[in-house]
Structure 1
Amino acid sequence: MSTELSEGRHLDRLGEQATDGQTRLTDICSGTAGSRMASIAEYYAGKNVLITGATGFMGKVLVEKLLRSCPEVKALYLLVRPKAGQSMQQRVSDMMTCKLFDRVREDNPDFHQKIIPISSELMQPGLAISPEDVEKLTGCIDVVFHCAATIRFDEPLKHALQLNVIATQQLVSLAKQMHHLEAFIHISTAYANCNRKHIDEVIYPPPVEPKKLIESLEWMDDGIVRDITPRLIGDRPNTYTYTKALAEFVVQQEQDKLNIAIIRPSIVGASWQEPFPGWIDNFNGPSGVFIAAGKGILRTMRANNDAVADLIPVDMVINLTLAAGWYTAVHRPKSAVVYNCTTGGINPFHWGEIEHHVMSSFKRNPLEQAFRRPNANITSNYLINQYWILVSHKFPALIYDLFLRLSGQKPQMMRIFNRLHKAISLLEYFSSQDWEWNSENMNMLMSQLTPEDRKTFNFDVRQLNWPEYIENYCIGTKKYVLNEDMSDIPAARQHLRKLRNIRYTFNTLLVVFIWRVFIARSQMARNICQRRQHSSLAVSRT
């Protein structure tokens, strides 16, 4: 298809669905295609990069990938805040000692010298960056990757607004002061516009003007804000998707002053290949669900078996992010470019398939000290789901907590199940329906890469082998989240066999008990009938 035809069709769609000024990747570049472009690694050589959210899941992978695949990068400046009694230096030091950085450590034991932590606090004015650090950053930064955000779905609106919108405003303001800035890359979410069924790679009009909302909420009591939040977010499911949509608009407002790209990943999961398959470090999203199912705690979940589970491996997201940074800096687009980083429209995988492969994987590679054998089921029926919650979750939890009480221990299983049900309820919106994402910009960007860069910064989701990926994902939760040793798998399998035998024994005893009760009642009924017959005969004789 010619560029002219693509442009015409795209502009027609924009006229109906998006704000003015949004154009496709091929329409906004500044005519540098004729000359040889530097490779991605060559571009980042000698560059100073600023990263927010570097201690988070995606941020850590971004730092590791930059250090390993762009070894000539000059320095990585990380905005970090003190947390849980740890200084920013301690947090960064702890991050760099984790297994994620093993490959970088082998290649360059002194890689930490390129890491420069900057004290910052997203909840404070000016991000609480000192004047000295502001001067340093504005004088040297070439590329900004804004990964920081709160990803809690049930975050209070004021807090989500501060972290996802106001902090973004302040970072953009800082970026406009940077003398050498070549690209500003903002990490959003594919679900920022989840109130639409078809989502193009454009920035849609915001649900409300961010500045007006911020000013309105400043004087409101937290209780009032909590009460009006459902009305404010409207047809979006939570404050996360709502504030991420507002943040996109905030970034877009500066597209005439900054070279901007927006990355929209869907459900970010464990790594596909890099730095090794299955790396994951948290219980967020599907990871916690997988672990709960592997432990035998989760037995039922409300989802649509036929709905697409739009998982995207974290390393693919980061590869796309770095490629977008390179492309944005080299081509200097006239307006913000959006990349829908999703799998559903290209290589779909469904929730029913995930359930099957997760259960199979955990039976082959069981988690230690499982509560029950892995055997979760997905249903879209609310009443059936509630029935199984009662029978398979609450009833066993009550029995187990009673056992703990009798043995002098503190009951905990009901509390665990309540937390699990709350987490799953927040995911139901995303596991019960489908979306269609346009991914033309992502495909176009891939076509601009050299063969070598396509290998080094691979984000081609067509290459994903889903059963293999889910297997590695489950093993990753065992190795990296729960820190379980793979050499203990035989013992874990033996534990599952014990649980199976206990279940068979319990079911057998239950059947025997019911049968005996039924027989006893039948015998009692026969005895009563016989007595009545004898009494009737006696009466008739008299």
Structure 2
Amino acid sequence: MVQLKEDSVAAFYAEKSIFITGGTGFLGKVLIEKLLYSCKAVDQIYVLIRKKKDQTPSERIAQLLESELFSRLRKDDPSALKKVVPVVGDLTMPNLGLSAAVQDLIVTKVSIIFHVAATVKFNERMKNALANNVEATREVINLCHRLEKVDAFIHVSTAYSNTDQKVVEERVYPPPAPLSEVYAFVTNNGDDMDIIQNLLNGRPNTYTYTKALAEDIVLKEHGGIPTAIIRPSIVLSVLKEPIPGWLDNWNGPTGLLHASSQGVHCSMLGSGSNVADLIPVDIVTNLMIVVASRCKKSNGLKVYNSCSGTTNPIAYQAFTKMFLDSCISRGWNKVPFPMLLFVKWAFLNRVLKFFLVIVPFFLIDVYLRFFGKPNYMRMITYTKKAEDLMTFFTSHEWQFKDGNVRDLINMMSPEDRKIFYCDPDEIHWKPYFDDYCVGVFKYLLKRKV
């Protein structure tokens, strides 16, 4: 039997069962691994899984647990993996699509819920974004209210849910519009993205818009449930545990950085001196775990901005240079001098792309039509779409207050601070981006490194 200090974070989870939405996503996977590894006395972790034609839920969970992310658990404590239990459901359905038997199981056994699931596509149709990000949140809260014993409900939002604010405090802001008006607008005007821009009213995309609506749902409907909202900024690869540099998606700036290393992306709109608020995924998940353990001791709903820009800032130009320097040092660059310049004028951006990217790679593709397989112009097209989605963030800057995070860290014991590190001050950017670069090539491009 593991001996735990009475007030430690791990002790809070002893003999308790957890329900997680979004457990098969980037953040969810790292959360599950950390709970199993550092909270060894946890009982069961129920993971919401959507049914797929080609895979059963058990097969999906088995595949997840066989990934390299869980390698230290397979080596040190393989029996812990049996604690992960898939439950079939669907975020967009009433009661999350859970069967009556599974609902009864969760209601009687679970006392902690992490709502991580969301559609993170920036250009998602509004109807889908509302179903996945807003109505699903309401269904999860309804489930929380039914639990026989509820110790914590953690809702994962985004630091960019309030892009209309230059200084974002750790509180829930008024929603961008009453939810009834949003539904009325979509019903009356349709779901076309050009039309939806009128509804967004300056917000960058349906993702950030609906996450703001979801926060308002949490504020109004959590009632007496011990609740907290975690707002991460741009989530990137693992800092320390379980594997430095590990990641499993091309979201955020990752695709653009790789394109730059290959020479098919050289410039974009924005200011290189703006703070790129980046946060490693393990810092976010550790914060989630610690916050849940303190929920009952908090007065009312608390918001935690999991961000680096306030205490450990790094600018876009410095960040991209470190990544590209790492590529160059390993010989992974396709062009001699890869670069990513941030420019403030659209005309200059178009000129740079035309002469430094489009013309040379068009000629290369012409050559490859005869002697290989042309694909560079296709890569440039994909990169342009990713750039369009990121331009709003590189062209603006926000200050995310993190007083609640600071207070939480100060209350942690030295031992818990070491195990559940969640302080962005601990990030050393140069070695971090070096690991991040290796992670891109190793885990996304499947290269031997």
Superposed pair shares fold, TM > 0.5: yes
The amino acid of 2:358's aligned partner reads K
SS at match of 1:396: helix
Q: Is the 8 A contact 1:256 1:335 kept in 2?
A: no
The amino acid of 2:263's aligned partner reads G
Q: How many Å separate the matches in 2 of 1:341 and 1:228?
A: 33
Unpaired segments ≥5 residues, structure 1: 1-35, 487-542
Partner of 2:232: 265
Q: Is the 8 A contact 1:187 1:264 kept in 2?
A: yes
Partner of 1:426: 389
For residues 84 and 377 of structure 1, do their structure 2 counterparts lie closer, same or farther at Cα, with a shift above 3 Å needed? Answer: farther
List structure 1 segments (4+ residues) > 6 angstroms apart after TM superposition: none
Partner of 2:430: 467
Q: How many Å separate the matches in 1 of 2:262 and 2:340?
A: 14
Q: Is the 8 A contact 2:141 2:218 kept in 1?
A: yes
Aligned residues: 444
Q: Deviations over 1:374-399 (max 9, x none)?
A: 51131223222111111122112321
- Please say which of residues 114-123 and 184-193 is displaced more in the overlay: 114-123
Partner of 2:301: 336
The amino acid of 1:365's aligned partner reads R
2:446 aligned residue (462, 483, 486): 483
2:330 aligned residue (345, 359, 365): 365
2:29 aligned residue (45, 53, 60): 60
The reply on whether 1:412 has 2:379 as its aligned counterpart is no
Deviation at 1:298, TM superposition (A): 2.1
Note the aligned Cα RMSD (angstroms). 1.7
1:97 aligned residue (44, 66, 75): 66
Q: How many Å separate the matches in 2 of 1:171 and 1:374?
A: 49
Q: How many Å separate the matches in 1 of 2:261 and 2:80?
A: 37
1:154 aligned residue (94, 118, 123): 123
The reply on whether 1:310 has 2:273 as its aligned counterpart is no
Q: Is the 8 A contact 1:144 1:183 kept in 2?
A: yes
Deviation at 1:283, TM superposition (A): 1.0
Unpaired segments ≥5 residues, structure 2: none
Higher Rg = 1
Partner of 1:352: 317
2:134 aligned residue (144, 165, 179): 165
Q: How many Å separate the matches in 2 of 1:37 and 1:447?
A: 18
- TM score, norm. by length of structure 1: 0.79
Q: Is the 8 A contact 2:27 2:285 kept in 1?
A: yes
Deviation at 1:287, TM superposition (A): 1.7
- TM score, norm. by length of structure 2: 0.95
Q: Deviations over 1:116-142 (max 9, x none)?
A: 101011122322111111111111111
Partner of 1:112: 81
Q: How many Å separate the matches in 2 of 1:327 and 1:131?
A: 31
What is the 5 A alignment of 1:187-226?
187-214=156-183, 217=186, 219-220=187-188, 222-223=190-191, 225-226=192-193
Partner of 1:4: none
Q: How many Å separate the matches in 2 of 1:41 and 1:214?
A: 43
The reply on whether 1:322 has 2:289 as its aligned counterpart is yes
Percent identity reads 36
Q: Is the 8 A contact 1:297 1:371 kept in 2?
A: no
SS at match of 1:41: helix
Q: Is the 8 A contact 2:36 2:81 kept in 1?
A: no
Q: Deviations over 1:331-375 (max 9, x none)?
A: 1x34210001111111110011112211210011233xx543351
SS at match of 1:142: strand
Deviation at 1:410, TM superposition (A): 5.4
Q: Is the 8 A contact 2:262 2:338 kept in 1?
A: no
SS at match of 2:170: coil
SS at match of 2:48: strand
Q: Is the 8 A contact 2:247 2:443 kept in 1?
A: yes
The amino acid of 2:360's aligned partner reads P
Deviation at 1:256, TM superposition (A): 2.5
Q: How many Å separate the matches in 2 of 1:419 and 1:346?
A: 34
Deviation at 1:323, TM superposition (A): 0.5
Q: Is the 8 A contact 1:69 1:456 kept in 2?
A: yes
1:379 aligned residue (338, 342, 355): 342
For residues 56 and 445 of structure 1, do their structure 2 counterparts lie closer, same or farther at Cα, with a shift above 3 Å needed? Answer: same
Partner of 1:121: 90
SS at match of 2:221: coil
Deviation at 1:458, TM superposition (A): 0.5
Q: Is the 8 A contact 1:303 1:351 kept in 2?
A: no
Partner of 2:245: 278
Deviation at 1:177, TM superposition (A): 0.6
